[in-house]
Chain A
Amino acid sequence: MPAAIKRIDRDLLLEMSDDEIVHEVVAILRRVVPHDLVDVQPDSRLIEDVGIDSLGTYELVMDAEDRFGIEINDDQLLEVKTVRDVVEFVKSQVE
């Protein structure tokens, strides 16, 4: 069953570099796609490159909300297409 995800402290999150947030997002993606993740870059597209499916997208949303303490609505989700988009969205919500 889905393992609980520990929330990153907000102050800690504010100090994290983009690379560190990318690393966190990839850790979530690893739970969401059935295959091994190799060479995921900030520009990797979630559907085409990472191979996330439609329900996996909602899994990513749930896990990202839990991990980063943010809220992502369905209309905002349409704008999120790459790993970098996730990182930018997280930063915009935290700041």
Chain B
Amino acid sequence: MSRQSPIAVTGMGCVSPLGNNSDAAWDAYFHGLSASRKLEEPWASGGDTFLAAVVDYDIASLLGEFLVNRLDRCSQFALLAARQAWFASGLGEQEIPGDRLAVVLGTGIGGQSTLIQQYERNAAGARRVHPLAVAMAMPNAAAAQVAIELGAHGGAHAPVSACASGAEAIVWGQMLLAADQADVVVVGGAEAAIHLATMRGFAEMRALSCRHADPAGACRPFAEDRDGFVLGEGAGVLVLERLRDAEARHAPIEGLLLSAGMTSDAHHLAMPQPDGLHSAEAIRKALRCADAVPEDLAMISAHATGTALGDLAEARALRLVLGAATDQVWVTAPKAGLGHLLGAAGAVESILTLKALQRAVVPRSLNADPPDPEIPLRIASQRNEPLSPRSRHLALKNSFGFGGHNVSLLWASA
């Protein structure tokens, strides 16, 4: 019996550079597409070249004028993804008391673009800034707005742990259910940080790929010649319920969250601990809490952003925990084509992982050639790899964030 009761995912929604719902994003991921492109926007044409994976979605017509003007793009993504997930769960047609419904939506950066926009208008001579500028910028805005829309009174929370935020939100959801704080928790992450200030900041820390001439080949997780990530944006939202509750109401079950592990490097504000010691412990905790062993894993959806240090530390962490079993389990790095969605990454990539488990296939890890001899992982670099038949497939999803936040999730097919 595992130490953490299984949690059912009964609805999923996403807005992403690869597609604006779970199925569309999965199809693009499955077919090895890349959303990475050169930015042609006026602000990005001042001499620097930037690559990004941008969401293409008619947000204005979906949300209407009021919400378009009252929410940062980050919250807009979250709201649209939450609507999809909520609809898919079928809970909208049932009587869920608001005080048993909670929301946990993480973000790395939140609504900073709105705050900068309002500062700029002020600096350009406007007398006023928007009276809700601060409320739009705050990192809990997405969680609050989704709670407003769903009438969730069981708590609205916003974990902020950089690129681990979305995965951490999923863990909080599990903890709220375990602590009987709610019966349904809408969890996920959202990010909309494709902005000159953010891009410059990432560029100065040499985190972004400089392969400007080859957008689709720029982000190269686990390749020997990797040189950074491509910034993305979007949101992923999942509806979590106790498995027994989901079964009792005959809900659609997309997959199971078996367990999770969280640790912190306490090492550096931006760099991962090189030996992967504490990210390894997050993976170990996740396995231990589900009474799982490395041999149980069918696939690993790596954090792997395509930076030299990060990918190496993750590979070391995996090797440290999985040992010889590392050679048997397929690893794939979704950010190669999806882009790095920062605080939304853990949520959107978890959705893609659940889809992979449902289809029993590990999507190809793009651009992982030439392999890095210092990274001895079984990377699905050549093709989509079918999973060997089992009654239940397990997948590890890693999410690590600047500041040394390590989150590992253990997912299972339903």
Residues of A bordering B, CB below 8 Å: 1-4, 30-34, 55, 58-59, 61-62, 65-66, 71
CB-defined interface of B58-82 with A at 8 Å, one 1/0 digit per residue?
Answer: 0000000111111111000000000
Distance in angstroms from A84 CB to nearest chain B CB is 23
Q: Is the CB of B128 within 8 A of A3?
A: no
Q: List 24 A-B contacts (CB under 8 A).
A: A1-B69, A1-B71, A1-B72, A1-B73, A1-B113, A2-B69, A2-B70, A2-B118, A3-B68, A3-B69, A30-B66, A31-B65, A31-B66, A32-B69, A33-B66, A34-B67, A58-B128, A58-B131, A59-B131, A59-B132, A62-B129, A65-B128, A66-B126, A71-B127
For chain B, what secondary structure do more than half of its interface residues adopt (helix, strand, loop), or is it mixed? helix
Check B130 for interface membership: any CB of A closer than 8 A: yes
Q: Is the CB of A61 within 8 A of B128?
A: yes
The CA-CA distance from A33 to B68 in the complex, in Å, is 12
Residues of B62-109 at the interface with A, using a CB-CB cut-off of 8 Å, are 65-73
The CA-CA distance from A2 to B69 in the complex, in Å, is 4
Residues of chain A with a CB closer than 8 A to B69's CB = 1-3, 31-32
Q: Known contacts A1-B111, A3-B69, A32-B69; can you find 18 more A-B pairs with CB under 8 A?
A: A1-B72, A1-B113, A1-B117, A1-B136, A2-B69, A2-B70, A2-B130, A4-B121, A30-B65, A31-B65, A34-B66, A34-B67, A55-B132, A58-B128, A58-B131, A59-B132, A65-B128, A66-B126
Residues of B bordering A, CB below 8 Å: 65-73, 111, 113-114, 117-118, 121, 126-132, 136
The 4 closest A-B pairs by CB, nearest first: A58-B131, A1-B114, A62-B128, A31-B69
Residues of chain B with a CB closer than 8 A to A58's CB = 128, 131
The CA-CA distance from A59 to B204 in the complex, in Å, is 37
The CA-CA distance from A59 to B67 in the complex, in Å, is 13
Q: Is the CB of B66 within 8 A of A59?
A: no
Residues of chain B with a CB closer than 8 A to A59's CB = 130-132
Q: Is the CB of A62 within 8 A of B131?
A: yes
